Structure formats: C-alpha cells, structure tokens
Amino acid sequence: MRATETAAWLNGLAPDTRAALHALQRVDRRRSAIILFFFGLWIVPWAVVAHWPIWPVRLPAYLLMGAALHGLGILMHEAVHGNLFRERRRDRWAAFLLGAPVLVSGAAYRVSHLRHHRHNRGPEDPDEFANHFKGFRAQAIAFYVWAAIGMLIFLGHVPLTALGRGTPRERREVVLEYAAILGLAAAVLLWAREAGRLDLLLHGWLAPMGVAWIIVNVRGWSEHMLTSSDHPLHATRTITSNRVVSLLMCNLNYHLEHHLLPAVPWYNLPRVHALLQEEFCAAGAPVCRSYVRFIWEAARRGFHGRVPAPERGEA
C-alpha cells in the first residue's frame, strides 16, 4: 500500500485522533537504554555457557541469545527510521553497530526498507514476492521457502537491493559498512582461532544466530503474507501476542501500526493500536492474537488463502 494512500486514510481520521497519534511520534531518548538490555541478554548467557558448557545450560542460553540478537536487529530497524535519537548521525551509527552482530549493514537496510515503506505491497516494493516471482506456482514455492530459509534470503536481498536501487552515495556507504562488518568478523574469527576458543563463537554467536533466524522467518512470514493490498488497513498484519513477546520484539509485532505511522517509536506502538482499535475492527484489519494462531492458519490455508481477521472484540 503506497505511502500516499496511507497518508490519505490518516487524514480522514477525526482531528483529536490525528493529534493524539502525532503526539505519539515524540522520541524519548532515555528509552534507547533498551539497547543495553539486549546486549546484556546476549553477553550474560554467553558468559554462563562459557563457564558451564553443558546442554541443560546451553539450550536455554541459545534461546535467550537468539532473542537478543533478533532484538538488536529490530533496534537497528528503529535507528533506520530515526526512532532511537531523532538525530541523523547518532541514528546512523546506531544502525551500523546494532546491525553488525547480525551481519546486516544499516545503510543497506535503510535503502531497502524505506523503499518497502513507500511502496508497501505495490509494484515498486522490493519485499513483495509478486514483484520477483511471476505466476502462482513460483509465488507459492517462495512462500514456503521463506518459512524455511527466510533469513538467508534476507541477508542477500538487502545488500543487492541497496546496491541496485541506491544513489551513488548510498552505494558507497553500503560497501564501506559491509567491508567494516567483514573486517570485524575476520578479526574476531582470527582472535578466536589463535586463542583456541572457536567454541566461543559456536556457542555464543553461531548457534544463537540459528535461533534468531527462526524468529526472523516467522516474523517476516507473518507481517504481510496472506493479506491483501486493497486498503491501508489490509496490507499489513499485527500480532498482539503477550507482553513478553512484545518486549522481545520491541513491539514490531504491532506491524500494521508501524506501517501506518513509521515515525512512532517502538514503545508507543501499543498505544497506537488502542487508539485505532475501532477503525481496525470496522475495516476487518488482519490482527491475530498470537504467532501460533497465525502459523496454524497459514499452514491450514496455504498460499492461496487469506488468514481471516478476528471477530469484533476477539483481538
């Protein structure tokens, strides 16, 4: 759904609602301290695994570290939108530093992702399957392949899109950032090899990245697939879930709200959901109660179907 159509829909809301939504775009820089929470959620279990390398410790540690790496990636996304500091230089550095652990350049993601926002589900959307795979069968295959290896596709798709569609300056930034990320990765790998501690990378980064990739695959599957592109409230899905999931997702599970108002920082998205609840219900917006329910509906209906919107009061 193109940004102009979304803006037109927002302009049709009641003035008091528009004013309340505008107020929610204010950034509280103190809330960026959540970056420390996610780095801690990664490093502390890593240290525990290094001292107690047994499977009853490793498995829950992998889950926590995977959630932490995924959370850092989401905070990179927040920085790309300027929602951490509302200061161009600081947000750009934050995007680079937060993206590096998951091997994503903030500069590349900025080019690809902001284009996705401007052309959501349209012919210029770089993330829309229908723009890359022609025909029902090819799109259906891509639909199921994403569920299995979506993160791997994403890691290649972001730089290729940025290099193909970015300006000369943006391309230079992308190349420099990926060079820096590869340099850092090589330095860490060399240090671990020389120190005889490659196990630290295996248990503190590679295995948790596998967990993060699974989370990304499910989240990416749920955000736009099995929706329609005929209305700003139909092209993106929200998964309300619970407070723990919302915290670990930095509320990006409120994805419809994010697409409607990408300048709203992560901590205000649930309030946007509450303000627009009546509009969502009236329009039959795709809002699911949990990721488990979405996966069940997606598996049951397949690529040809649509996950239905909940009944009034159900979301």
Q: Quick check: 8 pLDDT over 60?
A: yes
Mean pLDDT, residues 155-172 taken together: 96
Number of folded domains that form the chain: 1
The residues, any chain, with a CB within 8 Å of residue 18's CB and separated by 6 or more, are 10, 11
Which residue type sits at 252? L
Q: In terms of Cα–Cα distance, which of 126, 201, 119 is closest to 157?
A: 126
Residue 312 inside a domain? The answer is no
- What are the tokens at 234? 């139909």
Average pLDDT over residues 198-224: 94
147 is a domain residue? yes
Rounded to whole angstroms, the Cα distance separating 32 from 148 reads 32
Residue 311 lies in a domain: no
What's the pLDDT tens digit per position in 48-93?
A: 999 999 999 999 999 999 999 999 999 999 999 999 999 999 999 9
What does the pLDDT read at residue 309? 54
44 within a domain of the structure (yes/no)? yes
At a CB cut-off of 8 Å and minimum separation 6, what does 91 contact?
Answer: 79, 80, 82, 83, 84, 85
Nearest to 247 by CA among 278, 222, 269: 269
Enter the DSSP assignment of 288. Answer: E
Q: Most confidently modeled of 145-154, 162-171, 286-295?
A: 162-171
Give the pLDDT confidence of 239-276 residue by residue, as tens digits.
999 999 999 999 999 999 999 999 999 999 999 999 99
pLDDT for 308 equals 52
> Which band of pLDDT confidence, cut at 50, 70 and 90, is reported for residue 160?
very high
Average pLDDT, the chain: 92
Which domain covers residue 142, as residue numbers?
Answer: 3-301
Cβ neighbors of 41 (< 8 A, separation 6 or more) are: 64, 65, 67, 68, 71
Q: Evaluate whether residue 306 is within a structural domain.
A: no
Q: How confident is the model at residue 315 (pLDDT cuts 50, 70, 90)?
A: very low
Calculate the alpha carbon distances from 271 to 14, 20, 24, 258 in Å: 16, 10, 8, 11
3-state SS, residue 238: strand
User: Given a cut of 90, is residue 135 above it in pLDDT?
Assistant: no
At 306 the pLDDT is: 54
Helix (H) or strand (E) holding 61: helix 55-80
- Residue 314, domain member (yes or no): no
Task: Write the DSSP symbol of residue 209.
Answer: H
Indicate whether 309 belongs to any domain. Answer: no
pLDDT at 302: 67
pLDDT tens-digit readout, 16-30: 999 999 999 999 999
Residue 307 has pLDDT above 80, yes or no: no
Residue 313 domain-assigned (yes or no): no
Q: Is residue 313 predicted with pLDDT exceeding 70? A: no
Dihedral angle, C-alpha 68, 116, 282, 299, nearest 10 °: -60
274 vs 147: which has the higher pLDDT: 274
Per-residue pLDDT, averaged over 155-182, amounts to 97
